[in-house]
C-alpha cells in the first residue's frame, strides 16, 4: 500500500521541534501533516484530527505518563499507528507498546524517510540498542559475519536501504546511476542470503549493523 495520502500528527513539547516538522512535512507530501501538538493536548487533537500516525517526540527523555497516554490513543475510535522518536541510547523498557521506534540522531529528513515506511504498515518496533542489551544470538553473529563481507560501498547502500530510500534515491545520494545501485543491491542480497531489500534491511538491523558502521536502529522494515 502506498503511504501517499496518509496523515500524521506530531506531538512535542518543543516549539522548535514542532516548527521543524511543519517545515519539512509542508514540502513533502508522502505523509501529510494534519497538526502539531503539545503532549497535554495530544489525545484531544488526535480525537479531532483522526491521524493515521502519531509521532511522539521524546528525544529529551521518556515521559512518566507515556504508558497512560499510549493507552488513551489506542482507545480512540480511530486509533493511529504510534511512532516514538527517541535518542539512540534510550532504554528499551517501556517503549515496546508502540508500532515503531525511531532515533532522532539523523535529523528530521531521515525521520521522515522512516515515517513513510511506518505509513505502509510494514514497520515493526525497533528499540535503540543500550549497553545492557542482550548478547547477540548465533543467528545475529552469523549475519554479522555475512555483513562483514560487504564492501564499503555495499555497506553504504545498505544503510540507505534501511533508511527507506529507493534505488533512485540511493543513486542520487551517492551520485551513481539507479542501474549501478541495482547491481550493488543484487550483490548485497546474495552475500546476505536474503531474497528482498526488506529482508536485507531487517537482517542488518537485527544483527546490529551499527557495530561496524553508522547506527541503523531507527527503523526496521518487516
Residue-wise pLDDT tens digits, 69-79: 888 998 999 89
The grid coordinates listed for 40 are 497535554
Provide the whole-model pTM: 0.53
How far is residue 47's CA from residue 63's CA, in Å, rounded to a whole number? 21
Asked if 68 and 42 count as a contact pair (C-beta separation under 8 A), the reply is: no
Architecture of domain 138-221: Orthogonal Bundle (1.10)
Cell 507530501 appears where? Answer: 29
User: Alpha carbon 206 to chain centroid distance?
Assistant: 14
Domain positions in the chain? 6-124, 138-221
pLDDT digits (tens, 9 = 90+) for 106-115: 677 667 767 7
pLDDT digits (tens, 9 = 90+) for 204-215: 776 655 443 333
pLDDT digits (tens, 9 = 90+) for 87-106: 766 555 455 567 778 777 66
Asked if 114 and 163 count as a contact pair (C-beta separation under 8 A), the reply is: yes
User: pLDDT class for 137, splitting at 50, 70, 90?
Assistant: low
| Those residues with Cβ within 8 angstroms of residue 154's Cβ, 6 or more apart along the chain or in another chain | 184, 187, 188, 191
How far is residue 89's CA from residue 79's CA, in Å, rounded to a whole number? 28
User: pLDDT class for 50, splitting at 50, 70, 90?
Assistant: very high
pLDDT digits (tens, 9 = 90+) for 19-34: 888 887 776 666 788 9
Q: For the chain, what is the radius of gyration of the CA atoms?
A: 18
User: pLDDT class for 45, splitting at 50, 70, 90?
Assistant: very high
What mean pLDDT is reported for the chain?
76
CATH homologous superfamily of 6-124: Response regulator (3.40.50.2300)
Kindly tell me the sign of the dihedral angle through the C-alpha atoms of 67, 70, 75, 76.
positive
Q: If DSSP codes are grouped into helix, strand and coil, which group holds residue 6?
A: strand
Asked if 193 and 181 count as a contact pair (C-beta separation under 8 A), the reply is: no
In this prediction, residue 202 carries a pLDDT of 77
Amino acid at each position: 500500500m502506498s503511504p501517499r495520502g496518509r496523515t500524521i500528527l506530531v506531538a512535542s513539547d518543543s516549539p522548535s521541534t514542532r516548527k521543524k516538522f511543519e517545515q519539512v512535512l509542508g514540502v513533502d507530501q508522502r505523509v501529510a501533516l494534519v497538526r502539531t501538538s503539545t503532549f497535554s493536548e495530544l489525545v484531544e487533537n488526535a480525537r479531532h484530527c483522526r491521524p493515521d500516525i502519531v509521532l511522539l517526540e521524546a528525544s529529551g527523555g521518556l515521559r512518566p505518563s507515556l504508558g497512560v497516554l499510549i493507552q488513551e490513543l489506542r482507545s480512540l475510535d480511530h486509533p493511529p499507528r504510534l511512532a516514538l522518536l527517541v535518542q539512540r541510547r534510550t532504554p528499551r523498557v517501556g517503549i515496546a507498546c508502540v508500532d515503531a521506534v525511531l532515533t532522532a540522531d539523523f535529523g528530521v529528513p531521515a525521520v521522515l524517510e522512516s515515517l513513510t515506511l511506518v505509513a505502509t504498515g510494514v514497520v515493526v518496533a525497533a528499540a535503540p540498542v543500550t549497553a545492557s542489551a542482550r548478547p547477540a544470538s548465533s543467528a545475529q553473529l552469523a549475519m554479522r559475519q555475512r555483513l562483514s563481507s560487504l564492501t564499503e560501498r555495499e555497506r553504504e547502500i545498505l544503510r540507505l536501504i534501511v533508511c527507506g530510500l529507493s534505488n533512485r534515491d540511493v543513486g542520487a545520494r551517492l551520485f551513481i546511476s539507479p542501474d549501478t545501485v541495482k547491481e550493488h543491491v543484487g550483490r548485497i542480497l546474495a552475500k546476505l542470503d536474503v531474497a528482498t531489500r526488506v529482508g536485507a534491511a531487517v537482517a542488518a538491523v537485527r544483527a546490529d549493523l551499527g557495530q561496524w558502521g553508522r547506527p541503523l536502529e531507527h527503523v526496521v522494515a518487516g
